[in-house]
Structure 1
Amino acid sequence: MAQIHHVEYGWITPALSYALSVLGSALGLVCARRIRTARSAGQRAWWGLLAALAIGGTAIWAMHFMAMLGFGVEGTRIRYDVPITAASTVIAVVAVGIGLAIIGTGRLNALRLLAGGLFTGLGVAAMHYTGMAAMRLDGTFSYDRIRVALSVLIAVVAATVALWLSMTVRRGLAIAASALVMGIAVNGMHFTGMSALSVHLHERRGDLAGAEVSGLLVPIVLAVIFVVVGLVYALLAAPTDDDRAGSAYLDARRDGVQPAAATPGPGPEPVGLRARSTLGQPGTPFPSRRDTLRR
């Protein structure tokens, strides 16, 4: 059995993977919050897609690959099958997207939450082990079934909590705290699954097909940067409730309709200098002696 190193370069790769999962979770929670307030099916689909890219693509898959940079096996090189690696990305994004669609299209209840969490959690576990299947090395894999089952359970629980948070968390501080918790859950699932792995090296070594980690690192980092920048831009460019209210007010004024909020009500009866300034003007009644004494 070969010696496996999960943090071959020290704690830099786990720290970066955790940072990616927190960043993706925070952006995903902010995008998911817009699903409930969207005014049309197209807007709900748009924010659901952005939330799936943030959580599935950045918080889960990019975190997985970053953690895999620190994975090494003594006595063999490691390469990655590019099509299978790309398929694992699609699995993560689609699984999160379907989970958000399950809980975001109707009234949130326990049945919807459990169904969405189960589907998304199984999808996350499928992404993890598909990514592991993409590895090419001079050996064969074997897994401890108990730890595999534990990793799947963690994935389902983490996905259920993440979906619940995505539909309930509103304030900035709560979103930040939730993202920190989601980062711990995602990394816990990953390293639990990795601890189930054993590698048995082949006696005869051959050429390995696939791409080196260094060849995949640059395009993956660029893709993550592009997704994060795009998500931030979409959030900043999206109109707020105040923007919508202002737009409705301007539309009403342009159509010649006085908005109800801007309709002036009867003001207070003028007193003092303002009262004196109105005396003697046409249509202004002269105050009686009783009114004068009352004032």
Structure 2
Amino acid sequence: MHATTYDYWLVVSSFLVATLASYTALDLSSYISALAGRRIRHAWLVGGAAAMGIGIWSMHFIGMLAFSLPIPLGYDLITTGYSLIIAIFFSYLVLYGVTQTELTTLRLIASGTLMGVGIAAMHYTGMAAMQMHPAIQYDLALLTISVVIGISAANIALWVAYKFDSTNQKSVITRRIGAACVMGIAITGMHYMSMAASHFPSESVSGAASSFDSQWLAITTILFTFVILSVTLILSRFNARENFLLGSVSQLNSKIVHMATFDLLTGLPNRWTLMERIKHTIIISKHQNNMFAIFFMDLDGFKAINDSLGHSAGDEILNTFAQRLLQCVRSGDTVARLGGDEFVVLLDNLASPEAAAEMAESVLYRMRTDLWINQQSLQVTPSIGISIFPQDGETAEILLKNADTAMYEAKRGGRSTYRFFETSMNEAAVRTLEIQSVLHEAIKVGNFSLCFQPKFRGDNGKLTGTEALLRLHHPKLGFLSPKEFIPIAERSGQIIQIGYWVVREVCRQICRWKASGLPLIKVAINLSPRQLEQPDLVQTMLNILDREQVSSEKIMFEITETVAMQDAARTAEMIHEFQKNNFEIAIDDFGTGYSSLAYLQRFRVKQLKIDRFFINGLDEYDHEGSAIVSAIIKLAHTLEMEVVAEGVETDSQLAKLRDMGCDEIQGYLLGKPMAAEEFNMLLLHQQESQNLNIQSQFVTNVCG
């Protein structure tokens, strides 16, 4: 057997070439994966396969040049060319496999195996180019090991490079260098293991022997390969950077478009997108003669929750509501957020208005399930207004406006319900706008006034206090009922300033009574839900009383039971703060708000005012009505509260209430709401009666 020797400088060079070729291939694969165009991907695949194949083949050729025998050696040009083609072909297959959109484990293993087989095929074809006579003898065990080394190391390299994904660029480059070194070891390890498996008989000669200087050929091959791989790497890096910049610009544009068309908090379509979809649906519906519906929703009581729990909790509620709403509608429907707590649903292709009603009922039913925010259970339900195309409008703007109008009717109808748009609602909407305008100017121009409805003792009929009632008279609209303008003031928020005006005017009236020498009595003032939401309500009231020089003992605030129980814990805190500052509190319309006994104990208010519905029941239902009122009076007395019966209009009602021990009576039977001048006369009469009683008592005592 011929003794073999190696030029170790060329051995090291072959490893460096293999590693550079591997790194170039891995870098190219990531670049090609990011390309979108089919033609450009294919062009880079071919070019990359050529560069990778030349690199691998050059390593083999340099390794062969590093190998020497004590006989002249040469390589057949055609066979050597075949080995180069094999290297390029298998490189193409490997690059194609690892640049697919979904790189599965099976595809990764197949690519690694192909690489190992390709390296082996190239190597043994290159060995055949020596045209040895007699033929090279191979150790089968070492030959098998060489192939296994090539396949195993190639799989490990690809696994390191692709399986452990990362968004960190430094981590990607580090892994890629490590994978390239492993792949370089695979190529060179397979080569030199196969050379170890090769045995050359002592009489062997190379049929392709030539007089070429192998050292010069090795240097030329190394330089040529380094140039090809370096140019390929630079081009891929340059194009990758250009594509990255283009991709960044494209992503930025996409984000800008998304921000302009979708709500940032919930991810739902915004107003602009909704309007475009409604317009598109109108065109299709006209063509196909279909109907569709618009749901306009506003969350009931959201502002109070947002103010009490904070904006982060409010945002969480809006997000949760949006997700629930998406689950309520069909896949083809559109759910949008207009802003604040306003949501709109576009229900496409409806069979009938009844289908819209069923959907609305389904939404309300599902939304009644409590939300858990910050470990607190909340119920957030919407009021829904519905408009139908084409009967309620043929443009997106009109349909949305009419659905909004119907939504306000739903709120007026008790909230947590739905209403279909009706033409008469537009008249109501116009009326609402007129009243809002009137309310805006009423305080400045003096259109508001107060009247006073007296309250009397139940046992002796003496005047004990009065309730201040707001009235509004406009030169053009005439007298406006409180039932008409107060809900509008409540919704618009104007009730807050109106409420402060009432307190100021009551204080001034008390000062007038004092200046006229009339007896001072306690005045009850109603507090609205919007006022109770104000965090500085108590301090503002104290400031008003301080400026008007009126004592807080002269004022009683009335809170309706329904409002008190909306957020009972917060109401209790507000009541206690009022009481600390010597204000008295009454629960108005008692019996309609489903109070719990526990909260009545916590409230510790001065009075309970029985709702007029139960007072009417004293005549209408007799025994049953009397039983209910009697139970309320006993409950209040047990809790050390006074009871006021409002809406007393008949002698029989008065007689029954006196028998039950009702503390105070209020109603048209004993006294209607009076203007300030008329009420002054009542106070004067009360004063004269007291004086007469005092004189009579004095005479009796003297004579006796």
The TM-score bracket by the shorter chain reads: 0.7 to 0.9
| Corresponding residue to 1:46 among 35, 43, 46 | 43
Query: Counterpart of 1:105 in 2: which secondary structure?
Result: coil
Partner of 1:115: 110
* One-letter identity of the residue aligned with 1:2: H
- Counting only pairs closer than 5 Å after superposition, residues 1-295 of structure 1 correspond to structure 2 as 1-5=1-5, 7=6, 9=7, 11-58=8-55, 60-74=56-70, 76-136=71-131, 139-168=134-163, 171-202=172-203, 208=208, 212=212, 213=214, 216-217=217-218, 220-221=221-222, 223-238=224-239, 239-246=242-249, 259-260=256-257
Deviations 1:208-247 (A, max 9, x none): 5557335744663454144224303322430232233337
Deviations 1:47-105 (A, max 9, x none): 433442343321x211111111221112x100111111111111011112112223433
Does structure 1 conserve the Cα–Cα contact (< 8 Å) formed by 2:138 and 2:198?
yes
Larger relative contact order (CA 8 Å, sep ≥ 6): 1
Does structure 2 conserve the Cα–Cα contact (< 8 Å) formed by 1:54 and 1:227?
yes
Structure 1 residues 164 and 178: alpha-carbon distance in aligned structure 2, compared to 1, 3 A threshold:
same
Query: Counterpart of 2:190 in 1: which secondary structure?
Result: helix
Query: Counterpart of 1:200 in 2: which secondary structure?
Result: coil
TM-score by length of 2: 0.33
TM-score by length of 1: 0.74
Does structure 2 conserve the Cα–Cα contact (< 8 Å) formed by 1:104 and 1:167?
no
* 2: CA distance, partners of 1:247 / 1:112: 30
Deviations 1:248-288 (A, max 9, x none): 87xx8xxxx9953897x9xxxxxxxxxxxxxxxxxxxxxxx
- Aligned-residue offset at 1:145: 0.7
Greater shift after overlay, 165-174 or 235-244?
Answer: 165-174
Where structure 1 has 5 or more consecutive residues not aligned to the other structure, the ranges are 266-295
Does structure 2 conserve the Cα–Cα contact (< 8 Å) formed by 1:148 and 1:196?
yes
* One-letter identity of the residue aligned with 1:127: M
Rg larger for = 2
Structure 1 residues 130 and 106: alpha-carbon distance in aligned structure 2, compared to 1, 3 A threshold:
same
Query: Counterpart of 2:201 in 1: which secondary structure?
Result: strand
RMSD value over aligned CA atoms? 3.5
- Aligned-residue offset at 1:123: 1.6
* One-letter identity of the residue aligned with 1:240: N
- Aligned-residue offset at 1:202: 2.6
* 2: CA distance, partners of 1:244 / 1:153: 41
- Aligned-residue offset at 1:151: 0.9
* 1: CA distance, partners of 2:255 / 2:178: 44
Structure 1 residues 161 and 93: alpha-carbon distance in aligned structure 2, compared to 1, 3 A threshold:
farther
What is the total number of aligned residue pairs between the two structures?
260
Partner of 2:652: none
Structure 1 residues 173 and 115: alpha-carbon distance in aligned structure 2, compared to 1, 3 A threshold:
closer
Partner of 2:611: none
Partner of 1:282: none
- Higher helix residue share: 1
- Aligned-residue offset at 1:165: 4.4
Greater shift after overlay, 190-199 or 35-44?
Answer: 35-44
